[in-house]
């Protein structure tokens, strides 16, 4: 679907137009709450009137806090329809981190689940509205609803999404109306009025917001789980005849491991998507073999500008890659001097496209580090990832640049070692980090989570893994863990894992 000019400010208007044409069809369900297209339109415009009145003359930003609920979806959409900027905050973040985000974005008001209000100590500094999931969205005194969604300039701020903060201070990623419209309007995932998108990730995550907006834009139905559990997901997928889903790797792994996976009818699925973190090639193949429908792995950034898509159904021999650059994306692999690397040569991944963030909110230092210009002055996003293209133009993701281990002058990519550990039949999860070494400067340590009911002998596993690794790659030791700390989109929090080993060394 082509778009241009003022049309790119009409994402919410387009979504709400479905409420005029298909008033009785279901648009959104979360838990026990179901909204038809007509009900969704009325709820959004009603809340938008209240939000518009309360943001007039202010910062124009509205903070949202809570787990997934129909009420918070309405609040998010209503904020945009009012011409304001939505700021969904990560409810699982530490209170100090939340306070920092809240102070950073300076919202005019806060809309939060009642049980989460005390997570932000400074919330009382702005008008605050408590939401009870399942009871509708009430924003104080009755205010006249908007007659239609406001249509701002395409470059107006649509939302601010705070990064997970896995590399330190969380950064506010600003998306414009134009960026969100282009993301929603593209036809990458075959969405339409007959689609049912099943989502089970937090509402503040782009992993949720991007497919939610795209599905509603194309007139499809969204089923949102308030909280993920594998069996509950499978039951919903079967009873609701889900056609599409977007999940993170750890969710796929838990669903595939569910005792009753094979007893559920998943034949309605047309497209399954995965994003948020690297997915092991073995898990991709298992999805392809056991779960009906196309499987697409989406590699990209919340910041945009660098999207690759692996259609594993079409290219089953490319499970070790993250696919080819999506239409409209230019992706390069560069060396330290910014020179483009040929296929088979590793370097940092940079990219650009028509869907790029406006910048980090009030963070010029982060902006300066994130953007890169080539010799012709063309602007790219730096991903911080190390990778290479193969001879067929498929991108092989190797590691995070910051996770590179330099031991005795040799570069060791943690992902190479993790792949070996995960191939062992007794290993459920694994991470490799750098720890201090008097001899080598730093050396790789493997952290392993055994599969339920399995016993892992660390010395035997260490010998098994090192026998398959090059002499300069070998693990120095292994430790067993009950679980690995992960962000809400499934990324292993390696900074958290490294911290105790490096105290006093840096």
* Torsions phi, psi for 384 (to 5 deg): 75, 5
Domain membership flag for residue 293: no
Q: Is 303 helix (H, G, I), strand (E, B) or coil?
A: coil
- 51 strand-pairing partners: none
Is the Cβ–Cβ distance between 445 and 462 less than 8 Å?
Answer: no
CATH code of 413's domain: 3.30.300.30
CA distance 51 to 466: 59
Domain membership flag for residue 412: yes
pTM of the model: 0.87
What separation, in Å, do the N-terminal and C-terminal C-alpha atoms of the chain show?
A: 52
Domain membership flag for residue 255: no
Share of the chain above pLDDT 90, in %: 77
Among candidates 138, 125, 129, 86, which has minimal Cα distance to 110?
A: 129
The CB density around residue 26, as the number of other CB atoms within 10 Å, is 17
The CB density around residue 349, as the number of other CB atoms within 10 Å, is 28
Alpha carbon separation from 209 to 206, 351, 478 (Å, rounded): 5, 22, 38
Domain membership flag for residue 98: yes
Domain membership flag for residue 446: yes
Q: Is 167 helix (H, G, I), strand (E, B) or coil?
A: coil
The CB density around residue 428, as the number of other CB atoms within 10 Å, is 17
Domain membership flag for residue 19: yes
- Please determine, for residue 168, whether its predicted confidence score (pLDDT) is greater than 80: no
CA distance 69 to 180: 21
Is the Cβ–Cβ distance between 108 and 59 less than 8 Å?
Answer: yes
- Please determine, for residue 487, whether its predicted confidence score (pLDDT) is greater than 90: no
- Which residue, chain included where needed, has tokens 């080598």? 440
pLDDT attached to residue 164: 61
pLDDT band of residue 142 (cuts 50, 70, 90) is low
The CB density around residue 188, as the number of other CB atoms within 10 Å, is 15
Structure tokens of 387?
């990778």
Angle at 305 between CA 286 and CA 397, to 5 degrees: 40
Q: Torsion-angle region of residue 65: left (phi > 0), alpha (psi -120 to 50) or beta? A: beta
Domain membership flag for residue 14: yes
For 368-426, give the secondary structure using H, E and C.
HHHEEECCCCCEEEEEEEEEEECCCCCEEEEEEHHHCEEECCEEECHHHHHHHHHCCCC
- Please determine, for residue 1, whether its predicted confidence score (pLDDT) is greater than 50: no
CATH code of 4's domain: 3.40.50.980
Mean per-residue pLDDT, 52-76 = 95
The domain tally of the chain equals 2
- Please determine, for residue 136, whether its predicted confidence score (pLDDT) is greater than 70: yes
- Please determine, for residue 105, whether its predicted confidence score (pLDDT) is greater than 70: yes
Q: Report pLDDT digits (tens) over 253-308.
A: 999 999 999 999 999 999 999 998 888 898 999 999 999 999 999 999 999 999 99
Mean per-residue pLDDT, 398-426 = 87
Note down the domain range covering 45: 1-149+158-178
Domain membership flag for residue 167: yes
The CB density around residue 392, as the number of other CB atoms within 10 Å, is 11
CA distance 51 to 61: 10
Is the Cβ–Cβ distance between 51 and 80 less than 8 Å?
Answer: no
Angle at 349 between CA 316 and CA 282, to 5 degrees: 30
Instruction: Please compute Rg for the chain using Cα positions.
Output: 23
pLDDT attached to residue 4: 54
CA distance 324 to 232: 33
DSSP state of 492: B
CA distance 59 to 241: 42
Mean per-residue pLDDT, 362-371 = 94
């Amino acid at each position: 679907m082509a778009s241009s000019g003022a049309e790119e400010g009409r994402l919410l208007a387009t979504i709400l137009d479905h409420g005029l044409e298909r008033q009785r069809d279901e648009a959104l369900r979360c838990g026990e709450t179901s909204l038809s297209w007509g009900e969704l339109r009325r709820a959004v415009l009603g809340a938008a009137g209240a939000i518009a009145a309360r943001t007039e003359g202010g910062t124009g930003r509205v903070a949202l806090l809570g787990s997934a609920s129909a009420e918070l979806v309405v609040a998010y959409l209503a904020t945009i329809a009012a011409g304001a900027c939505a700021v969904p905050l990560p409810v699982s973040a530490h209170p100090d981190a939340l306070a920092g985000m809240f102070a950073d974005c300076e919202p005019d008001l806060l809309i939060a689940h009642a049980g989460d209000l005390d997570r932000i100590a400074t919330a009382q500094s702005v008008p605050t509205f408590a939401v009870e999931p399942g009871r509708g969205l009430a924003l104080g005194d009755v205010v006249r609803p908007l007659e239609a969604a406001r249509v701002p300039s395409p470059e107006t701020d649509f939302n601010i999404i705070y990064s997970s903060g896995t590399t330190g201070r969380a950064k506010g990623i600003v998306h414009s109306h134009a960026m969100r419209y282009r993301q929603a309007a593209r036809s990458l995932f075959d969405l339409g009025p007959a689609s049912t998108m099943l989502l089970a990730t937090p509402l503040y995550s782009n992993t949720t917001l991007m497919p939610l907006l795209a599905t509603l834009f194309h007139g499809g139905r969204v089923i949102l789980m308030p909280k993920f559990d594998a069996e509950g997901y499978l039951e919903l997928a079967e009873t609701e005849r889900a056609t599409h889903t977007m999940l993170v790797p750890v969710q796929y792994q838990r669903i595939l491991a569910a005792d009753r996976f094979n007893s559920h009818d998943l034949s309605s699925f047309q497209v399954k998507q995965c994003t948020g973190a690297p997915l092991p090639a073995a898990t991709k193949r298992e999805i392809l073999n056991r779960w009906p429908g196309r499987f697409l792995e989406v590699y990209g950034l919340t910041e945009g500008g660098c999207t690759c898509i692996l259609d594993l159904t079409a290219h089953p021999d490319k499970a070790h890659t993250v696919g080819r650059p999506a239409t409209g994306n230019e992706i390069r692999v560069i060396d330290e001097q910014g020179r483009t690397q040929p296929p088979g040569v590793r370097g940092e991944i940079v990219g650009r496209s028509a869907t790029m963030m406006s910048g980090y909110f009030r963070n010029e230092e982060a902006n300066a580090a994130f953007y890169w210009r080539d010799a012709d002055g063309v602007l790219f996003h730096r991903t911080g990832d190390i990778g290479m293209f193969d001879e067929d133009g498929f991108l092989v993701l190797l590691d995070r640049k910051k996770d590179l281990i330099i031991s005795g002058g040799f570069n060791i990519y943690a992902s190479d070692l993790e792949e070996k550990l995960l191939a062992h039949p007794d290993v459920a999860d694994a991470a490799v980090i750098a720890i201090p070494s008097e001899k080598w400067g730093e050396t790789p340590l493997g952290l392993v989570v055994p599969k339920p009911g399995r016993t892992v002998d660390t010395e035997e596993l260490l010998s098994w893994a090192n026998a398959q690794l090059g002499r300069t790659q070998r693990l120095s030791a292994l430790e067993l863990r009950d679980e690995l700390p992960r962000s809400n989109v499934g990324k292993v929090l390696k900074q958290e894992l490294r911290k105790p080993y490096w105290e006093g060394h840096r």
